[in-house]
Amino acid sequence: MRFRFTDLRIDTAAARGELLDPGAGGYASFEGWVRDFNEGREVTRLEYEAFQELALKEGERILAEAAARFPIKHALCIHRVGRLSLSDMAVWVGVSSTHRGEAFDACRFIIDEVKHRVPIWKKEHYRNGDSGWVNCERCAAAPEHRHDRATAHDHDAA
Amino acid sequence: MSARTPLLGLVLAGGGSERMKRDKATLLYEGKSQLDRAVELLARHVDRVFVSVRASQIGDAARARYPLIVDSVAGRGPIVGIRSAFAAHPGNAWLVVACDLPFLSDRALSQLLAERDPASSATAYISVHDELPEPLCAIWEPKAAAQIDALLAAGKDCPRKFLMNHAARLLEPQDLRALDNVNTPEEYVRASAGPTTTHAMQLKIQYFALMREQSGRSEETVETLASTPADLYAELKARYGFTLPREQLKVAVNSEFAPWSRPLAAGDAVVFIPPVAGG
């Protein structure tokens, strides 16, 4: 079970080779690609940054969970860091297993968990020259809700 | 703005001290009981100070030295102490403090007084730990009396929820440690050890992504009095203007996810983790 980062193009042929197993009758993989559009904005490129020490531990935990949950042979996840262009591969997940069903299921499980749990951050650069950290910039508005609520009760301005 | 109503001081000393397993009012800090310290502190800011007690504590020697206000009903917590004070001296506002705040400071009380809003029900601090209002170091205005009656009549008695649901002026504390309370024997040992063990310690902070950009650095060693990641985040948020509230972050200590209340030790490596976006 292996989770790792690379700042080079992901070599999917080599990665697939690591999953070969005489007992495996199926293999499924997922590739995440850099898309030109997100949440209504035109994206021109991306940067990924990771807190690698913890990210590697959490990534390994996810792979171990996948192995505990699905009867698979091998699983591997490789995530890019650094600058990426449109259509570059940002993440690759591969799973080999005795039968196809668990390979698909485990692959889906791994990518979903990685997106939510592993300390990796994505900065999008937009056509208009703006940029922003995904999930961080907009939710920063949330504290305003809280303070709005407090100041709505605050009679000082009256 | 209306003329300010007179302000009296109230030290809440009617608690059961269940977790401490001994009376918190008589715990000593630098040779002085918490109750005596709290009364003296309040007396520097208001003219008259009273001590709130349960009926069963009237004869207690530590408390009997002070003018007492006895809870009108039992078993409903500190809100009854505050309500009983309004009943005993109608028309006054109350600067209320719990007696188990060993780090409470003149600075914290001065800020409350300076930023007091007499038109609201109360002026209180937002906790640096969970960003909720802190009812037990606060100024309670006379209009709160009837509102507390309504709360009690509805079968509720949480003073914190009271502040969240009524017109309270809420302040960010300048003295971040002032409201840390001490509930267990372990916390007492740590707190009473005083400045020799509570002096600033060095922590290593690493910043990633948005935190790196907002702090303008990838890592630093900070000298801090913060004893938990929650305190540390409040301190650094104030220093660097981090936009994310703590609720949206996770924290790692020594490269493993950790609770916000985890005690920090000198040399610990701390990373604040903003919302992630892999894949």
Parallel/antiparallel/unpaired status of strands B250-253 and B256-258 = antiparallel
Question: Which of A51, A116, A136 minimises the CB distance to B244?
Answer: A136
Structurally, what CATH architecture does the domain formed by A2-157 represent?
A: Alpha-Beta Complex (3.90)
The answer, yes or no, to whether residue B104 has pLDDT greater than 80, is yes
Matching CATH number, B7-171, of 3.40.50.720, 3.40.50.620, 3.90.550.10, 3.90.580.10: 3.90.550.10
Measured in angstroms, the CA of B138 and the nearest CA of chain A are apart by 15
Measured in angstroms, the CA of B210 and the nearest CA of chain A are apart by 7
The fold for domain B200-273 equals Ubiquitin-like (UB roll) (3.10.20)
Q: Return the domain boundaries, chain B.
A: 7-171, 200-273
User: Which of B69, B81, B105 is closest to B177 using CA atoms?
Assistant: B105
The answer, yes or no, to whether residue B197 has pLDDT greater than 90, is no
A21-30, B59-68, B237-246: which range is least confident on average? Answer: B59-68
Q: Which residues pair with residue A126 across a beta bridge?
A: A43
User: Which of B37, B47, B85 is closest to B182 using CA atoms?
Assistant: B37
- Distance CA(B152)–CA(B159), nearest Å, equals 10
Per-residue pLDDT reduced to its tens digit, B74-88: 888 899 999 999 999
Percent of chain B whose pLDDT exceeds 70: 95
Residue B235's pLDDT is 93
The answer, yes or no, to whether residue B194 has pLDDT greater than 70, is no
**pLDDT category of residue B255 using cuts at 50, 70 and 90:** very high
Classify burial at A24, counting beta carbons within 10 Å of its beta carbon; exposed 0-12, middle 13-18, buried 19 or more. middle
Q: Return the domain boundaries, chain A.
A: 2-157
Classify burial at A13, counting beta carbons within 10 Å of its beta carbon; exposed 0-12, middle 13-18, buried 19 or more. exposed
**pLDDT category of residue A73 using cuts at 50, 70 and 90:** very high
Spell out which residues of chain B touch residue A134, defining contact as CB-CB under 8 Å: 277
The answer, yes or no, to whether residue B213 has pLDDT greater than 70, is yes
- Put simply, the answer to whether A119 touches B275 (Cβ < 8 Å) is no
- Distance CA(B34)–CA(B22), nearest Å, equals 13
Measured in angstroms, the CA of B219 and the nearest CA of chain A are apart by 12
Residues 6+ apart with CB under 8 A from B54: B14, B70, B71, B74
Q: Evaluate whether B193 touches B28 at the Cβ level (below 8 Å).
A: no
- Put simply, the answer to whether A136 touches B209 (Cβ < 8 Å) is yes
Q: Which residues pair with residue B171 across a beta bridge?
A: B125
A42-56, B16-30, B150-164, B225-239: which range is least confident on average? Answer: B16-30
